[in-house]
Amino acid sequence: MSIRNRKVLAFVMAGGEGSRLHPLTSDRCKPAVPFNGKHRVVDFVLSNLINSEIFSIYLLVQYKSQSLIEHVRTAWTMPRFGPDHFVTVVPPQMRNGPEWFQGTADAVYQNIHLIESFQPDIVAVFGADHIYRMDVRQMIDFHRRTGADVSVATLPVRLEHCDQFGVVEVDADLRVTDFKEKPRSTPSMPGREGFALASMGNYIFNAEVLLEALNRAHATGESDFGKHILPQMVGSHRLLAYDFATNVIPGIAPYEEPGYWRDVGTIDAYFDAHFDTLGTTPKFRMTNRQWPIYASHDPSESAQIENGVIHRSVVGSGCIVDGARLDHAMLRRAVTVHRDVHLQHCIVMERSVLGRGAMVRRAIIDTDNDIPPGERIGFDPETDRRRFHVTASGIVVVPSGYFSRQRAPAFAPLGKQPGGVLEGLELAPALPAAPLRTPPAAPPAKTYLTKGMST
């Protein structure tokens, strides 16, 4: 499938403040929040667009955007094969007054000159806050085939969950008849009893329709697509709902969840989505060579695992693990885990160190934390709430740099430890290991071959 006979311009709405993800968004915007071993949330929408042969992308940023700008600069530099191949970050230009973006539609309106100068046939307006794979070409093909002015990407959700989403009501031909924001009740979608269509916040516009709608909305002081522009267009334009469940992605394994899509706008949703990617049969497999999710270039050395017990975990590049127990743990880059540490259902971000004997359970450790030896996190809710942010479900979030780097213990000498375990299988000893970064005080320990680990 190709869209080369149509000129497509994409706007990615990456200005979200992400207040429900605090404190992970204390120093970064929501699309810049790390995800899995080496990605950021914004990498999913950008990968989907690039894989769909949409190479002209403006990323509209606003709140605490420096981390995102640096990530795009290092990870998303497009080869200059043609003048229309770019991923360009666009902050508020204030061309029409001293105002930041007031909403999704206002963000595009403030950059309407980019549409006018590019002269596209189709404009894609996509969010940057979701974990999913999508072939956008299939949505554009639906848009053209049905003669739509606007197509709204939708996802079937159970009726009892509709109060968590903006819901799109449709007729039998999937023409939009109404928009409802988080309704308490709504009728079932045609042909699928017990389900309704939730808006994913991804839209395809005919360019001339979008320009007209933006100018009209600006004149009346309206600023948002979902709240203002699209509901008003229901009676005057042809709006169609694209069913995301029909989107086919190559390389999806039989055990993966069909139509996987997660809004990671809360700590709990963000935490749970990480563990959907773990194991040999995950709900969402990060390594799909036919539809890759691209990440920034990683100059770090390979991870080094001296020994320990490791079960269904991801160990990022540059990590050192010595005699620790990892159970459903996700270590991003350059994390050091000392002897006798026990991590259970944890996410540990870059450059953090866990001192000997520390125990952490159901927690997110943000970047640059040196957890002291013997520290306990996730075991005493009252103590955790006095120090950290704790969700209603009990997930603890340790902010970036909370534990000062001066408190880092010296790396413990490496001795002989029991063999590692991965997915419940005892690992056979291999050749003696070379010393790690700090020479061991004891004779070199044995390393253990691992199978199926993500590094």
In angstroms, rounded to a whole number, what is the distance separating the alpha carbons of residues 272 and 328? Answer: 11
pLDDT band at 415 (very low <50, low <70, confident <90, very high): very low
Least confident among 138-152, 194-208, 219-233 = 219-233
Phi, psi at 212, each rounded to 5°: -65, -45
State mean pLDDT over 343-358.
Answer: 97
| Interatomic CA distance for residues 227 and 222, integer angstroms | 9
The pTM score is: 0.86
Beta bridge partners of 115: none
pLDDT above 50 (res 421) = no
State the SS3 of 20-88.
HHCCCCCCCCHHHCEECCCEECHHHHHHHHHHCCCCEEEEECCCCCHHHHHHHHHHCCCCCCCCCCEEE
Residue 120, both tokens: 């596209």
Alpha helices in 146-221 (DSSP H): 207-220
Mean pLDDT along residues 232-243 = 94
pLDDT, tens digit (0-9, with 9 covering 90-100), for 155-199: 999 999 888 888 999 999 999 999 888 888 888 988 889 999 999
Q: Which of 8, 15, 119 is nearest to 57 (CA)?
A: 8
pLDDT higher at 425 or 392: 392
Other CB atoms within 10 Å distance of the CB of residue 187: 12
Residue 432: pLDDT over 80: no
Query: CA-to-CA distance for 303 and 301, rounded, in angstroms?
Result: 7
HEC string for 307-363: EEEEECCEECCCCEEEEEEEEEEEECCCCEECCCCEEEEEEECCCCEECCCCEEEEE
Higher pLDDT pick, 322 / 436:
322
For CA atoms 325, 327, 332, 333, the dihedral sign is positive
Report whether 256 contacts 285 (CB < 8 A): yes
Mean pLDDT computed over 132-154: 97
- Mean pLDDT, rounded, for 34-38: 93
Confidence check: pLDDT of 434 > 60: no
Quick one: CA dihedral 116, 117, 122, 127, positive or negative? negative
- Asked if pLDDT for residue 435 goes beyond 50, the answer is no
Record the tokens describing residue 361, joined without a space.
């359970």
Q: Which amino acid makes up residue 120?
A: P
Phi, psi angle pair for 13, to nearest 5°: -85, 95
Asked if the model's pLDDT at residue 442 lies above 70, the reply is no
Q: Which residues are CB-contacts of 232 (< 8 A; sequence separation ≥ 6)?
A: 222
Q: What is the pLDDT of residue 405?
A: 66
User: Cβ(202)–Cβ(127) under 8 Å?
Assistant: yes
23: preceding bond cis by omega (within 30 degrees): yes
Please tell me the distance from the alpha carbon of residue 323 to that of residue 83, in angstroms, as a whole number.
52
Q: What does the pLDDT average to over 260-269?
A: 95
> How far apart are alpha carbons 23 and 441 in whole angstroms?
39
DSSP conformational letter for 263: E
Higher pLDDT, 15 or 332: 332
Q: 292 by DSSP, 3-state: which?
A: coil
pLDDT tens readout for residues 10-27: 999 998 777 899 999 999
Would the pLDDT of 124 be above 70?
yes
